[in-house]
Amino acid sequence: MPFAPRLPALILAATLPCAAWAQVTVKPDGQWRHLFGAGASLSSGNSDASSFNLTADSVRATDHDKWSLTGRAQYAKVEDETSAERFGAGTQYDRDFSPQWFGFGRLEFLRDRPANLSLRSFAASGVGYHIFRDDTGFWDLSVGLGYTQDRFTDPAEVDGQMRRSYGRAELLLAEESSHQFTETTKFRQKLSLLPVLNEPGTYRAEFDTGVSVAINEKLSLTAALTYRYNSDPGEGLKRGDALFVTGVSLRID
């Protein structure tokens, strides 16, 4: 079943300078802060290829809650054939109800035409626990329930039937951390597991990790790795996809 969007196999940073996963500034003062990134590549001759990548992150935090917004766009063409056309947006709201415990709600949308995904909608809510949280970073664990609805560009075989859309309930298990190694170097990672509740043994997994090195107060060099795994991706699709990108990001505080 085509639960996960199809990603390119492995794109090396040397050939595709894209905007990577940097970190927007988070301060508990109730002010919105933003981070923007962009990258592009173009080659011709023996190989004709072009690509671009755009990212946007915004965060508003206080001493008891946090609201984050994200946006992603990726487009790539190789030898006049589209190899990537992916657009995503999401938001998450966290609210503490004790120094260690918090509740959250998440909403995400994804469009990926090469993967035959016209629109994926994902909504989830649950609770989380702050293992630690200070000026140098944080480490959180969370668990919740979610629902995913996929709409396909062309009919796809799901659960033995040809369908235009397919929905399922999922368990959400996640951990996320951020660490400040030096005054200019930050590291962040996030792992999410999403077992399908009505199909034992079927699940998705998502892993994101990145390093950012500040050039000055506004600009940073970034490098990030993302990995997506689907235990049942559908006929003709691989279970795992990796993407490694580098780039430069602009911070607006």
Judged against a pLDDT cut of 60, whether residue 230 lies above it is answered with: yes
Task: Catalogue all structural domains in the chain, each as residue range(s) with its CATH number.
Answer: 32-252 (2.40.160.40)
Q: Can you give the pLDDT at residue 190?
A: 93
Cα separation, 179 vs 154, in Å, equals 43
User: Does residue 21 register a pLDDT over 80?
Assistant: no
Q: Which of 52-56, 118-122, 231-235 has the highest average model confidence (pLDDT)?
A: 118-122
Tokens 């996809």, residue located: 241
The Cβ of residue 238 has, within 10 Å, a number of other Cβ atoms equal to 11
What confidence score (pLDDT) does residue 106 get? 94
pLDDT over threshold 70, residue 93:
yes
**Over residues 215-220, mean pLDDT:** 88
Averaged confidence pLDDT in the chain = 81
Higher-pLDDT residue of 60 and 246 is 60
Tokens of 139: 């480490």
Report the pLDDT value the prediction gives residue 226, as an integer from 0 to 100.
79
| Among the ranges given (139-148, 149-158, 197-206), the one the predictor scored with the smallest mean pLDDT | 149-158
**Phi, psi torsion values for 113, nearest 5 degrees:** -65, -40
Distance CA 132, CA 55 (A): 28
- For residue 62, what pLDDT is reported? 92
pLDDT of residue 87 exceeding 60: yes
The token pair that represents 214 in the structure block: 């500040």
3-state helix, strand, coil in the chain (%, to 5): 0, 70, 30
End-to-end CA distance of the chain: 43
- Residues whose CB falls within 8 Å of the CB of residue 45, separated by 6 or more in sequence, listed in order: none
What is the model's pTM?
0.80
DSSP 147-169: EEEEEEEEEEEETTEEEEEEEEE
What is the band of 233 on the pLDDT scale with cuts at 50, 70, 90? low
Q: Would you tell me how many other CB atoms lie within 10 Å of the CB of residue 252?
A: 12
β-strand 101-112 against 137-158: which pairing, if any? unpaired
Mean pLDDT of 222-229: 82
